[in-house]
Amino acid sequence: MKDYQGRTAVITGAGSGFGLEVARIAASRGMNLVLCDVQADALDAAAAEFADHPVLARRVDVAKADQMEALAAAVQERFGAPHFVFNNAGVGSGGLIWENSLADWEWVLGVNLMGVVHGVRLFTPMMLAAAEKDPAWQGHIVNTASMAGMLNPPNMGVYNVSKHAVVSLSETLHQDLALVSDQVRCSVLCPYFVPTGITQSHRNRPGELGAGKPTRSQMISQAMTDKAVGSGKLTAADVARMVFDAMDAQRFYIFSHPQALKGVQTRLEDVMQLRNPTDPFQDKPEIGARLRESLRGV
Instruction: Specify whether 159 is catalytic.
Output: yes
**In this structure, what are the phi and psi dihedrals at residue 79, rounded to the nearest 5 degrees?**
-125, -10
- Exposed e or buried b for every residue in 143-159, given b needs 16+ CB within 10 A? bbbbbbbbbbbbbbbbb
Contact (CB, 8 A) for 231 and 192: no
Cα separations (Å) of 20 from 14, 24, 185, 196? 5, 6, 22, 10
For 274: left if phi > 0, alpha if psi spans -120 to 50, otherwise beta; the answer is left
Q: At 91, which helix (H) or strand (E)? A: none
Active-site annotation holder among 4, 159, 192, 253: 159
Other Cβ atoms less than 10 A from the Cβ of 10: the count is 29
Residues 6+ apart with CB under 8 A from 219: none
Q: What is the 3-state secondary structure (H, E, C) of 117-172?
A: HHHHHHHHHHHHHHHHHCCCCCEEEEEECCHHHCCCCCCEHHHHHHHHHHHHHHHH
Residues marked as catalytic: 159
